[in-house]
A and B are shown apart, each in its own frame.
Chain A
Amino acid sequence: MTTILVVEDEPEIRRFLRSSLGAEGFRVIESPNARRGAIDAGTHRPDLAIVDLALPDYDGRELIREIREWSPMPIVVLSARHQEQTKIEALDAGADDYITKPFGVGELLARVRVALRHAARSPIGQVLVLGTTKVELDKRRALRDGAEVHLTPIEFRLLGALAKHLGMVVTHRQLLAEVWGPSHVGQTHYLRIYMKQLRDKLEEDPVRPRYLVTETGVGYRLLADEA
């Protein structure tokens, strides 16, 4: 049985998380604060953690860092609105995705499923299907309606960095560090230029992207079907 740890101080929010996650067949462990959350993460070894960023004892970001020291378990963060910076820091601290309060259960379950699927997946030999476009990352080949599309090495690396976290958000910082190197994490404009190029080559309607999705102020997300 898949176990989910919920670290959240508001009992009413824990209540609906417990019932809706429970109804989906997950076993739910509840922790009302970060200290308890760190202990429960260690003793129950959950498959995924949902962590509220505003906890009464210490910062949710700190808890994420602690968990990351010993576990790659997917972590989905609950954040308030207008907290782009906190969100980004949580993601850079090792969280895999976030959802903004207030949220519907449907959205949350979608995030949880993507994160769990991601944790279970082996990253080798990946083929991405973006509508009528097919990208074979390992062979560095992209086909659009059967015809080969030329992607530059950077474009492939960028797509690969996003594909590693398929369905989940990747921050600007993470993308820049992975594609251009740690000394380029401030050069957000590189991303703007290369993301546009990728969209022009891969999306049917590049100004309304369906697969290479912008998370405004935070990063990008690749939504693709896996072959």
Chain B
Amino acid sequence: MIGYAWAAGAALACTLAGLAMRPRFDLVNVAMVYLFAVVLVAQRYSRGPAILATVLSVAAFDLLFVPPQGAFRIDDMQYLLTFAIMLTIGLVISRLAENVRMRAAEQAKLEAQTQTERLRSALLASVSHDLRTPLAVMCGASSSLAEGGERLSAEERQALARSVYEQAREMSERVAKLLQMTRLETGAISLERDWDSITDVAGAVLARLRGRLASHRVVLELADDLPLVRIDAALIDQALANLLENAAIHTPPGTVVRLRAWRRGQELVVSVEDYGPGLPQGDEERIFAKFEHGVAEGRPGGVGLGLAISRAIVVLHGGRAWAERAPTGGSAFRFTLPLEEQPVVPAEAAA
């Protein structure tokens, strides 16, 4: 529809231009102006608008510029030829332009497919490695218990059973992350927002991850007067947990992981900072992609979804997530949560 409007507009503009030119320019030049407009419309839009532009242009040209002005004289062979040529040019150009547009669309589709394909193969590689390793351990350990348990010492039995348990736990974490990423990507998650305190959420995360963070010293810098946030606490809990786990995996045992939060304008900034080697220059964005693992340390465990999940959750809340060099020299993984007007809690005497 918009193409037709442009076609009519172009013909009108040419007519006005032609009228202005007319005292000093030849009729041929006026025709050229019309042709130019037809080419532009044909190049930009499909065949219909091109035809309309041609018809309007020839009609206006004939009516207003070809003597006798104010009347059609199509019997004049010259202008029939002008019409034919303009129409042909318009059609040819619109056809060419259409082809180019189609090819570009195909190209884009192909690229999207390649991207999906790349992700799918990354997913498969990830699933096969990260899920099959624990499965292999569980299979082996549990079968030796089931088939030859009585020949093993009590300690060996205990160790095998424990390793089945640990691997199953690990795998359950990984499957949960895969599912969560899928949920986030397909928009199958709706936020259950409520007022919450980031200190509360952090406390629960630290309690749950006690085992996984045991190798590091976690320092909390959460001010006493942090504003409340309206969040889906279960999701922000995951986002924060992923950042903390990430820090513990990628930095040497015994180092400090610092969790800070502060208010900045209309948002709350939450920052997980470590004393590790820091991110290689230019990796700050790449690491948030799906199935990405840190380069230097190979595949230290996990499916490479933690940061991608954290970012998706934060974005869903209207915040941002990014990585930068930390004041500690290591890396800082940060996210923001938008702040709303703080809710009122009545003073106790009135309650």
**A: which residues have CB within 8 A of B?**
81-82, 84-85, 102, 104, 152-154, 172, 180, 187-190, 192-193, 195-196, 207-209, 213-217
Contact = CB atoms under 8 A, between A and B. Distances in A.
B126 interface: no
B204 A216 contact: yes
Interface in B138-159: none
A216 B345 contact: no
Nearest to B183: A82
Contact of A213 (B180, B196, B204, B343): B204
Chain B contact-residue range equals: 20 to 34
Top 6 A-B residue pairs of the complex, sorted by shortest distance between their CB atoms: A189-B195, A217-B234, A214-B204, A189-B343, A217-B233, A216-B237
Contacts of A215: 204
Contacts of A214: 200-201, 203-204
B299 interface: no
B21 interface: no
B174 to A, nearest CB: 12
A123 B200 CA distance: 28
A217 B165 contact: no
Contacts of A85: 192
A215 to B, nearest CB: 7
A109 B84 CA distance: 90
Nearest to A102: B172
B220 A208 contact: yes
Contacts of A187: 343
A195 B237 contact: no
Interface string B109-146: 00000000000000000000000000000000000000
B228 A216 contact: no
Contact of B194 (A188, A195, A196, A209): A188
Contact of A192 (B169, B192, B197): B197
B9 to A, nearest CB: 54
A156 to B, nearest CB: 11
A102 B351 contact: no
Contacts of A154: 348, 351
Nearest to A192: B197
B58 to A, nearest CB: 66
A213 B233 CA distance: 15
A152 B345 contact: no
Nearest to B220: A207
A195 B343 CA distance: 16
Given A84-B192, A216-B204, A189 B234 contact: no
B224 to A, nearest CB: 8
A102 B174 CA distance: 13
Nearest to B171: A102
Contacts of A196: 197, 199-200
A190 B194 CA distance: 12
12 contacts: A82-B176, A187-B343, A188-B194, A189-B228, A192-B197, A208-B220, A209-B203, A214-B201, A214-B203, A214-B204, A216-B233, A216-B234
Contacts of B233: 216-217
Contact of A180 (B183, B220, B351): B351
B198 to A, nearest CB: 10
Nearest to B259: A207
B202 A213 contact: no
B196 A84 contact: no
A209 B201 CA distance: 11
B207 A207 contact: no
Given A180-B351, A188-B196, A189-B195, A81 B204 contact: no
